[in-house]
A = this chain, B = another copy of it.
Amino acid sequence: MRIAVDALGGDNAPDEVIAGALAAARELAQDEIFLVGDREVVENAAASDAPGNVAWREASGAIGMDEEPASALRANPESSVAVCARMLREGEAEALFSAGNTGATVAATLMWAGRIRGCRRPAIATVIPFPKPVLLLDVGATIHCRPQDLLNFAILGGVFAERYFDIGGKARVGLVNVGEEPGKGSDLAKEAHRMMCESEDVRFVGNVEGRDIGSGVADVLVTDGFTGNVMLKTAEGVSREILDLVRSAMTGDFLSKLAAGVLRRRLLEVRDLVDPENYGGSFLLGVRGVVVIGHGNSRARGVENALLGISRTGAGLLRDLENTIKDSGAASAGETT
């Protein structure tokens, strides 16, 4: 695949982003990686040892992490993420990675690459890793959703999860709700429940409550971007806090420290399991390209894992998503809404 990397986006750009991209390029000999940013910035960081499948594309500065996306993109249409999005549109790249301002990545993609026909709105899909990985969407692209949007997310998420988790067969899709029974929840959830039950394109397992987030009852969990964002950040915050509590329980007297030393390696495995850096970013689904949004504080390892994930999952993904949405009839229904 041809992957455009926003070399200037993220708290640790450009150094960590470029280091991660170079590391990935060495493993992905079949793929091409474009580092997008100001020439001297990229050249300084990439040094002279870049592998042959890495190229550079000119851009002029980045969108700041706290800037308002739409106005910042209007003010700087040559910013790195904007150039990446136009590379998608022109077909020069098939995939885009940015660890910069999430809203700007979404807005630039919509502005220049556009949506899949039939998807009124896109969704950000992210893997919640523990203990059984599940794909959650939307975690923040579409704050106000209609039932048809949630049905589209269910279709997109299902197709994506089949590839990403390498599921043999259709992915099981659950609807995030406040109870398991069909009549539960908001008007949005009730109507989406009905539509997913009726859809032949979704292997729907019904409502799923927050407490079953990692229980393995579904491969995909669908909700609106407000609820999904709160849910994801709650899961991240709580796991970090519990691990902090466990760590401080082990730093008391000599004997505790000794015991903690014995357990150190296995506890590090637990920490790794819940570390978002190992999962390399979230996929923006419903747009015309494979677009991956890295954590704002991504380090080289996170960037590298994200690019490996794009290469593994991305080839043919867009075509599959477009075909499934088209066949679902959402393409015509979606266009009219």
Contact = CB atoms under 8 A, between A and B. Distances in A.
Interface stretch (A5-13, A148-156, A233-241, A327-335): A233-241
Nearest to A230: B210
A136 to B, nearest CB: 10
Interface string A231-275: 111111111111111100110100110111111001101100110
A229 B187 contact: no
A232 B211 CA distance: 8
A144 interface: yes
Given A178-B229, A241-B214, A260-B259, A249 B267 contact: yes
A137 B280 CA distance: 33
Contacts of A178: 140, 143, 225-226, 229-230
Given A227-B226, A230-B178, A274 B242 contact: yes
Given A176-B230, A237-B212, A238-B239, A245 B259 contact: no
A215 interface: yes
B262 A255 contact: yes
A72 B131 CA distance: 38
Contacts of A267: 246, 249
Contacts of A181: 66
A77 interface: no
Nearest to A144: B186
A185 interface: yes
A321 interface: no
B226 A213 contact: no
Interface in A317-331: none
**A212, A215, A266: most-surrounded residue (chain B CB, <10 A):** A266
Contacts of A227: 226-227, 230
A209 interface: yes
A270 B244 CA distance: 10
A210 B233 contact: yes
B213 A245 contact: no
A130 interface: yes
A279 to B, nearest CB: 15
A237 B213 contact: yes
A233 B210 CA distance: 5
B270 A263 contact: no
Nearest to A226: B186
A131 to B, nearest CB: 5
**A143, A236, A237, A245: most-surrounded residue (chain B CB, <10 A):** A245
Given A130-B242, A131-B244, A214-B237, 8 more contacts: A144-B186, A176-B230, A178-B225, A209-B230, A210-B235, A238-B239, A249-B266, A255-B262
9 closest A-B pairs by CB? A210-B233, A211-B237, A259-B259, A210-B234, A259-B262, A249-B266, A211-B233, A178-B229, A210-B230
28 contacts: A130-B238, A131-B244, A144-B187, A178-B225, A178-B230, A186-B226, A210-B235, A210-B236, A211-B240, A212-B237, A214-B238, A215-B237, A230-B230, A231-B231, A234-B238, A238-B238, A238-B239, A242-B242, A242-B243, A242-B270, A245-B270, A245-B273, A246-B270, A249-B266, A249-B267, A256-B263, A259-B259, A259-B261
